[in-house]
Chain A
Amino acid sequence: MQQREATPLPSPFPTATALDKLLTGGLPQGQLVELIGLRSSGRFSTILSSLASATSAGEAAALVDLGDAFDPQLAVTAGVDLERLLWVRPEHLKQTLISAEVLLAGGFPLVVVDLGNPPVPGGRGLEASWLRLAKAAQNHQAVPFVSSPYRVSGTAAAGVVKADRGRALWSGAAPGPRLLVGLSSHLTLQKMRRQQGNRTEVLRLKPPDALIYGTSATSTGGGARP
């Protein structure tokens, strides 16, 4: 009897964060992955890193930014190639879902959907819409990566990763001067098709040297962060 050859899975899309270890290599192509977490959980840093990973490899990527939270200057610092990034700024969840579906159909290999922080305009959306998004991802072998403060995509998500609320790392001791030197959080794999769940990885992040207090040549008086 002839043995059936197993179809090789397409290579995953690395995010260059601890998420890659949880998802054995990165975001799986053709499947919807949801990253949930409250504020200051490292969720936004993770999606920015995934955009930097894709665009630095010469690939096009799209960010559907419902919270309008994207800062181009910070993204450059994170390594995002802005020329390859399409920034879409919808006003509510319905527009967000339609935009993501249009982008997947348009051939974008990575579509990051960030729902921002609560209150999300439009609530959780219809489950049918999320299922359509997952189907579009499967049809186009693209990656929809959804970042949300709470679970929204229901059964449409092939993978769900939860980011715990991060712990701020400060240098110095009270009552002396303090300085934010990092954030530590935990990523837990809650669900992944064909993979074992409930695994945890540590996410360590450090702030850039200059966020707004920058050292740009065009600076007109911003003080440099110590």
Chain B
Amino acid sequence: MPRIACLLTPLFPLAARLRSEPELRGEAVTIFQGNGNAARVVAAARTARKVGIRPGMSLPQARALLPNLIVRARDMPCEKAAQETLLEIAEGFSPRIEDAGEGVIYLELDGLDRHFPGDSPERDLGHALTVTTDKAGLTAWVGIASSKLAARVAAELPASPNLVPAGEEASFLAPLPLQSLAAEVEILETLQRWGIRSVGDFARLPRNEVASRLGETGRQLHEKARGVDSRPFVPYQPPPHFAEGMELEWPLVNLEPFLFVAGAALKRLCQRLESRGLACTRLETSLRLEPDGHHQRTIQLPAPTREVKTLLTLIRLDLEAESPAAPIQGFTIVAHPDRPREAQLSLFGPAALSPDKLATTLARLFALLGPGRVGSPHTVNGHRPERSSLVEYAPPPPPDVRPKRQEGRGLLAIRTLRPPVPLEVISHLASPREILSIISESSARRPHIQGRVKVASGPWTLEEEWWSEKPVERDYWDIELVDGGIFRIFFQRSTGEWYADGIYD
């Protein structure tokens, strides 16, 4: 029989909420479910339990006992994120885990004793699980046994971790009340009528007689009572993405308070990504609006990153550009993971950029400048100099040995004017003689080109896309003005207009 550990978070709805709002720790917090008079307490913090608040109480009853009670509604996105966090922690210990829901995870422990070579490997593993869960902002109790039921019951006992030696599950369960088998109420009532109070009493009944009187459910319950758990272990398949979110106490109208809570959610998200050695490559923000409606945004990152500040800036810029139409009452942030870029350092060649730093740098620039403004330049087919394109910046690894630097080519470069600056040109025999700048609204922000032409050289003809509806036919001239400056200008044959598209510099 394989050994199984049960990782149990007590009062899970409360623990999940406290993970999202850590400032409420130590306060008299109560989680309720339902609306109006049907609202019932589902979990209460220790301070609230001390004054008698119990699950199942109505909200007015609880408030009557403690007027300063802090009340929060049950938050499914929070609980889902907390459950996923527990699963990720468990995955860090065992490759085979089962998601039993509501803060309960089972781990198969076969072979894990090699990782904990002390006198009591299982106890050490239990302690390690508790410590890791604490660091993630959740509380967990651990029970280890040879069946899921025994492990679960052991986890619920005080002084975690609790170990049930192999083969002693039946004797461990025997003194426990029947309710610990989590059986159906009907069967429990029948057993109580028979005078059976503990699991041990039930286990001593003949198996066949129990099956003939209580049916299949009773037979399975009898096996459980004997320490035999016939339920198969259902391995957990991790989802392809990571999500964090919460329902807000009241709808938010301004961006700043939303970014405050979103920042905390992103921090938790990045911690989860980091624990798996992953980074975020695409971020989806889903806002639930009041009274109903959704605002869905997707941000594609230029490179995988897990820097909270950068991701938060991207969300800010995105929401500033496309604001939701109504107040926000809840949100979910989904991170699509990818492996961070990796690089091998070179001993003799130039230093490579750190992939992690590069990803963060690109994401920051992307957030600052927006799309289409950061990347690796790429040549475009054709000859029009104003054309260019950007591709994703992914530099090849540096050479193993530093190559010799290129000798200077002494090349006279041209500053491209994008878009070309319109000009008024006085020409004589088709050769430019004087240039007058055209005053327009946009000309104040463009280079001022004006003056008598000292030397003009040309024309050189450029013809492109003659097959299209708008063929390009330009006559290019290199000109030097009397008061300085060498320019490349062209005459556009189709419109009869002059433009400057470059400055020799």
Contacts and interface: CB of A to CB of B under 8 A. Distances in A.
Interface of A: 14-17, 38-45, 48-49, 52-53, 56-60, 67-79, 82-91, 95, 98-99, 102-103, 105-109, 116-119, 121, 165-166, 168, 170, 174, 177-180, 182-183, 204-208, 211-214, 216, 218-223, 225
Contacts of B486: 40, 166, 168, 180, 183
14 contacts: A14-B405, A17-B408, A56-B405, A67-B415, A71-B414, A76-B379, A87-B390, A88-B369, A88-B373, A107-B357, A118-B448, A168-B486, A212-B385, A213-B476
When A and B form their complex, which 6 residue pairs have the shortest distance between CB atoms, in order from nearest? A106-B361, A16-B408, A221-B463, A56-B406, A44-B505, A205-B412
B71 interface: no
B195 interface: no
B505 A41 contact: yes
Contacts of B368: 90, 95, 98-99, 102
A102 B412 contact: no
Contact of B476 (A117, A212, A216): A212
Given A45-B412, A180-B486, 4 more contacts: A57-B402, A83-B394, A86-B374, A165-B484
Contacts of B379: 72-73, 76, 82
Interface in B403-439: 403-418
Given A39-B485, A212-B385, A60 B408 contact: no
A24 B411 CA distance: 22
B460 A213 contact: yes
Contacts, number: 253
B351 interface: yes
A193 B357 CA distance: 31
A178 B409 CA distance: 23
Contacts of A57: 350, 402-406
B395 A60 contact: yes
Contact of A39 (B378, B402, B416, B484): B484
B116 interface: no
B462 A68 contact: no
B501 to A, nearest CB: 8
B505 A221 contact: no
A175 to B, nearest CB: 10
B376 to A, nearest CB: 6
B364 interface: yes
Contact count band on B: 35 or more
A76 to B, nearest CB: 6
Given A58-B350, A69-B417, A89-B373, A212 B456 contact: no
A103 B457 contact: no
B495 interface: no
Nearest to B504: A40
A106 to B, nearest CB: 3
Interface in B433-460: 444-445, 447-448, 455-457, 460
A156 to B, nearest CB: 21
A225 B102 CA distance: 76
A192 to B, nearest CB: 20
Interface of B: 349-354, 357-358, 360-361, 364-365, 368-369, 373-385, 388-390, 393-396, 398-399, 402-418, 444-445, 447-448, 455-457, 460-466, 476, 478, 480, 484-486, 488, 503-505
B480 A168 contact: yes
B466 A220 contact: yes
Contacts of A180: 457, 478, 480, 486, 504
A174 B480 CA distance: 14
Contacts of A99: 365, 368-369
Contact of B505 (A16, A39, A174, A182): A39
Nearest to A210: B383
A80 B387 CA distance: 18
B405 A16 contact: yes
Contacts of A105: 357, 361
A75 B375 CA distance: 15
Given A40-B505, A79-B406, A83-B376, A60 B412 contact: no
B164 to A, nearest CB: 53
B369 A219 contact: no
A58 B402 contact: yes
B415 A58 contact: no
A177 B378 contact: no
B395 A78 contact: no
A84 B395 contact: yes
* Centre residue among A69, A78, A103, A178 by max chain B CB count within 10 A: A69
B361 A212 contact: no
A202 B269 CA distance: 57
Contacts of A17: 408, 410
Contacts of B447: 39, 117-118
B369 A95 contact: yes
A109 B351 contact: yes
A17 to B, nearest CB: 5
A117 B411 contact: no
A174 B381 CA distance: 36
B411 A49 contact: yes
Contacts of B404: 57
Contacts of A117: 415, 447, 503
Contacts of B407: 16
Contact of B381 (A14, A41, A205, A218): A218
A116 B415 contact: yes
A99 B370 CA distance: 12
